[in-house]
Amino acid sequence: MIKEEIKKALSNANLSGALTRFSEAYAVSRRKAYEGLDFEGIREKIANIKSYVADHLQELIQTFIKSATENGAKIFYTKSPEEVRNYIIELAKKNNVKSIVKSKSMATEEIHLNKYLKEQGIEVNETDLGEWIIQLAGQRPSHMVLPAIHLTRYDVSDVFTKKVEPVQPDIAQMVKFARKHLRRKFLSADMGITGANIAIAETGTLVLFTNEGNARLTMLLPKIHVAVVGVEKLVAKLEDIFSIIRALPRSATAQLITSYISFVNKPEIHIDGSQKEFHIILFDNNRTNIARDPVFKQSLQCIRCASCLNVCPVFRIIGGHVFGKVYTGGIGTILTAWTEGLKASKDIQGLCIQCGNCVKVCPGKINIPELILEIRKRLSKEEGLDFKTKAIYSVVNNRKLFHSILRTASKLQKPFEKGGFIRHLPFFLSELTTERSLPAIADVPFRDRFKKIEQPKSQKKAIFFAGCLIDFAYPEIGEALVKLLNSAQIEVLFPQEQTCCGAPARYSGVMDVAANNSKQNIEALLSVEADYVVSACPTCTVALKNQFIKDLKEQDYDEKIIKSAEHLSEKVIDASELIYRLVKEGKIQFKKLSKIDFTYHDPCHLIRSLNISQQPRESLINAGLKLIEMFESDTCCGMGGSYSLKFPEISGTILRRKLENIQKTEAKLVCTDCPGCVMQIRGGVDKEGLQIEVKHSLEVLAERIK
């Protein structure tokens, strides 16, 4: 079913166009909005404030209940969505409520409140413009902040024309039209329902952010105001709100400040002079369980800005109706797993490509990709693996068998291979070569070629961890690294017992296989002494440096092997960083050759997990090349390891955008520092028949050394 939804979304040009235009504009506007501010400092404060809430949630709930009660509000605290709905329905019946107006509230979306109110014969009208459009269209929001972002003005005009009355697809006219119709709803409503962005425990105050002023009318005009507030919106004290006020509008819509910020303390006086009723429903629905979970409690640091959606390369091509449920995108996947149950996230969790783009913009410092990996681990543990997956990972788990199969495949591929590429595959495999050509497996893997390389003997030594792609598909990258290190008088060692870094298993949640790969590699790489352990694949570098330790700890390996993993980690360095240092120190020097233009693609793990970006560029410039930066150089190419095999249609769509950005530079050489990115981009270039070379930076540098 998810495959059908993806195909439908990808065929909707209006959807991808609207989301892409917004994403591009958002990136520029967000940078301007944060100019002069210390974003890292702001988000560190928010993370600390919200982390404190998670650690003291029950205490803060009770403090808020006491403070708000003293202010005159009627408080109802419940863990059950059903009890929230029943409370509101009973309150409505008791007060003969016929019509309700609502301002934007994700908490009420979460419990499907509108559906239940309608079943009771109560009229419900959303008053946020986007929410009203979605309500009329009979859809659910596709974005947590911009619920109708997937609709064009022509779509909106059609909705208004069919459901209300004819109106032209002119934005100013439609806004005026909506204002006129909603004003009547405000004036006739018996009850107003809002959410809240922040709830201050010490003062019992609710804080609401809006751009249209509809929340104020919802609170002030009807005789009854009900606020449905998730307990994660709590902060301890008044001063805690200021960092959130700075970050929320800038991160959500790239505004310096939202149009309206409302502070609600106590029941207001109605316009007829009577005392209004003010009810606050504090709503749990598993939030306290999240707070107790040592891994997932960081998700409570979310301030619902949806900036993670705005920068997600997957979200912007398939939207929230595919990538999400009530809550959308990466953070929505995590919230779905807790509010609707782990199994509810099964299909959508796989849509995360693990590029990490969301991590750098999250004002709550939530590591969304890491939490999605945790969902995969728990799903794998809870549901087990199907026969096909078990078979694949039993092979990966056996180094000799795995390598034997790759060697055999290099012979069997001959009918499909031409010029180093496999351009067409038969039957059910054909989809894998629709958007890109695949690399042929090398006739002679790097591990065999290495044995024949003559090297200078040196005191300085580096162990090379090749990873699967360099070892069996791109051995020339490994040869380039050896040549560069040898020129700096560093001898390269290659332990033959090394195997897959475990990434395929790790990113699929199959942790016993990942941990076994980690153990095998630690033993192999520490079997010889060296100054460095070098990888030319950032995914492998991250595994060697960080993941091996985590894998072994999670699988309860003994302390001795964990200590070995920590010792190995201290020696690990990415090839791009080491070569940069050697060039800067003058230990690697280049010939004076004619300058050629190149553009650079930043691999996701290199720029985000390892914080390496300028170093490979500077090495290439030092070698006499001229850099032409491409648009969105740091946006994922769509590879994502096995992601491109699971979702080739998404991977291919992301790749096409990358190729367009490359072509716009007019450079005839693309450099990158990840063999996976080489595979993706080079395969796309070949498929499109473009006259562009795609090379690992090490290959280009090795061609130019003295």
Is the separation of the CB atoms in 541 and 610 below 8 Å? Answer: yes
From the CB of residue 411, how many other CB atoms can be counted at a distance below 10 Å?
9
Distances (CA, A) of 652 to 128, 317, 409, 688: 36, 11, 24, 12
Kindly state the tokens that stand for 532.
């460095």
Taking the C-alpha atoms of residue 46 and residue 164, their distance in angstroms, rounded to an integer, is 43
Helix 575-584 with 697-704: angle, nearest 10 deg: 30
pLDDT tens per residue, range 434-488? 778 888 888 999 999 999 999 999 999 999 999 999 999 999 999 999 999 999 9
Give the residue from 212, 202, 65 showing the smallest Cα distance to 148: 212
The whole-angstrom separation of Cα 117 and Cα 580 is 63
pLDDT at 293: 97
Complete domains list, the chain, with CATH:
2-289 (3.40.50.10420), 291-381 (1.10.1060.10), 399-415+439-580 (1.20.1050), 589-704 (3.40.50.1860)
Amino acid residing at 194: T
pLDDT at residue 366, as a whole number: 98
> What are the phi and psi torsion angles at 78 (to 5°)?
-145, 155
Q: How many residues does the chain have?
A: 706
74-78 and 277-283 beta bridge pairing: parallel
Residue 65 to residue 301: CA distance in whole angstroms? 21
d(CA 381, CA 344): 16
Q: What average pLDDT values come out for the chain (706 residues) when binned by 10 residues? A: 92 88 93 96 98 97 98 96 97 96 95 96 95 94 92 92 92 91 92 97 96 89 96 97 96 87 87 86 96 97 96 96 95 96 94 96 97 94 77 75 78 73 61 76 93 93 96 96 98 96 91 94 96 97 97 95 97 98 97 92 97 98 97 96 91 96 98 97 95 98 95
Q: 362, 308 in Cβ contact below 8 A?
A: yes
> Helix %, strand %, coil % for the chain, to 5?
55, 10, 35
Neighbouring residues of 663: CB distance < 8 A, sequence distance ≥ 6: 690, 692
Of the candidates 635, 608, 619, the residue with the CA atom closest to the CA atom of residue 538 = 608
C-alpha distance from residue 555 to each of 374, 377, 513, 518, 559 (Å): 13, 12, 10, 11, 12
Give tens-digit pLDDT for 127-153: 999 999 999 999 999 999 999 999 989
Q: What is the DSSP string of 357-393?
A: HHHHH-TT---HHHHHHHHHHHHHHHH---HHHHHHH
Alpha carbon distance 152, 174 (integer Å):
12
Cα 597 vs. chain centroid, distance in angstroms?
Answer: 32
What does the pLDDT read at residue 397? Answer: 74
Q: At what angle do helices 171-188 and 153-163 cross, to 10 degrees?
A: 40
Lookup: tokens for 19: 């989301």
Interacting residues of 423 by C-beta distance below 8 A, sequence separation 6+: 416, 433, 437, 438, 686, 687
Please answer whether residues 281 and 228 qualify as being in contact, where contact means their C-beta atoms are separated by less than 8 angstroms. yes
In this structure, what DSSP letter does residue 294 have?
A: T
pLDDT at res. 430:
56
